[in-house]
Amino acid sequence: MKNKVKDSGDERSATGGSPETKYPKNFIRFLGTAGTRFVMLSQRRATGGIWFSYGGCLGVIDPGPGSLVRICEAVPPLSPIDINTLILTHRHIDHSSDLNVLAEGMTLNSAERRGCVLLTEDSSADGDSVLLKFAEKKIERVCRHGDGRITALPGGVTAESVRHEHHGVQCYGVVFRKEGLPTWGLLSDTSALPSFPERYSECDILVMNVTMLLPRSRLDHLSMPDAVSLLEVIHPKLAIVTHMSSMLLDYGPERIAKALSTERTKAVAASDGLVVNLEGPL
């Protein structure tokens, strides 16, 4: 497990370590780890979503404010021109603001339509789409989430959408699968639903947007007790917490990791720039 989570060593790194010279073949990099508008607006933690490279599928999930900047500043380098997939779990601005600039990168060097965008119906509604028509025209496939719907992504990767419940907007988590590679999933912004243990049971690695320290009935976000309850039932080998509020950041990454780790699951709180080898020793 020691080699499983590697920090890229950038200036926002919470765990330090020397810069890596190259990325693993299959990995995720946390471009940002901020949750809530307050953390986004102060940039106490960066926003920008998750870069992933998995079985030939290369893209960004929830490209919020600064996603492009975080990509261009990344060490080792990343390039928006390499992207072939963009995924929005929902339309909120901290998850979607850089969608169009990254779509511009994805389609820049292609004379033909290129790439895949997966988003919710209400993110692409006529008259209020977060994906500009100008950008959409250059994209090969625009796909919509549906509960249990399997979307074929580049490189033979599949994405299973999992319905969430989040402040009146359509929101979906995703489980990614590819033959021969570990299955990994993302629990996005949502209240805790009874369907989650079953839907995420196959995940070897689970990224969780755990925003709150304690549950608050008005807020459709996962809290620490929600995450503890889930990890008592499902047992990913690695659970990574992101999308943290100020309160959770004040509580501290080490305490979060300790509270969520079990005999079967190593838990970590993500730092900005954290790189996770999806094929590392699990």
Runs of H (alpha helix) within 150-244: 196-199, 224-233
Contacts of 130 (CB under 8 A, 6+ apart): 88, 91, 96, 99, 119, 123, 124
Q: Could you tell me which residues are beta bridge partners of residue 169?
A: 166
Pick 189 or 226: Cβ nearer Zn ion: 189
Choice between 10 and 94, CB closer to Zn ion: 94
Separation of alpha carbons 105 and 82, rounded Å? 8
The site map against Zn ion for 226-255 (x = CB under 5 A) is ------------------------------
Q: How many residues bind Zn ion (CB under 5 A)?
A: 3
Q: Is 189 in the site for Zn ion (CB under 5 A)?
A: yes
Nearer to Zn ion by Cβ, of 85 and 123: the residue is 123
Candidate ranges 44-52, 72-80, 187-195, 252-260; the one touching Zn ion (CB under 5 A)? 187-195
- Which residues, including other chains, have CB under 8 Å from residue 194's CB and lie 6 or more apart? none
Q: Interface with Zn ion includes 272 (CB under 5 A)?
A: no
The contact pattern for Zn ion, residues 85-104, with x = CB under 5 A and - = no contact, is: -------x-x----------
HSE-CB of 112 using CA atoms within 13 angstroms: 5
In the complex, minimum distance from the CB of residue 63 to Zn ion, in angstroms, rounded to a whole number: 12
Q: Which residue is associated with the tokens 């496939």?
A: 141
**Distance of closest approach, residue 221 Cβ to Zn ion, in angstroms:** 8
Decide whether 94 or 272 has the Cβ nearer to Zn ion: 94
For Zn ion, the closer CB: 160 or 189: 189
- Cα 89 to its chain centre, rounded Å, is 9
DSSP state of 93: H
Place of tokens 């928006």: 80
CA pair distance 103, 48, nearest whole angstrom: 14
Residue nearest to Zn ion (CB): 92
d(CA 152, CA 168): 27
Q: How far is the CB of 243 from Zn ion (least distance, A)?
A: 6
CB of 212 to Zn ion, least distance (A): 12
Closest of 280, 263, 261, 207 to residue 25, by C-alpha? 280
220 lines the binding site for Zn ion (CB under 5 A)? no
Q: Which is nearer to Zn ion, 10 or 189 (CB)?
A: 189
Binding site for Zn ion (CB under 5 A): 92, 94, 189
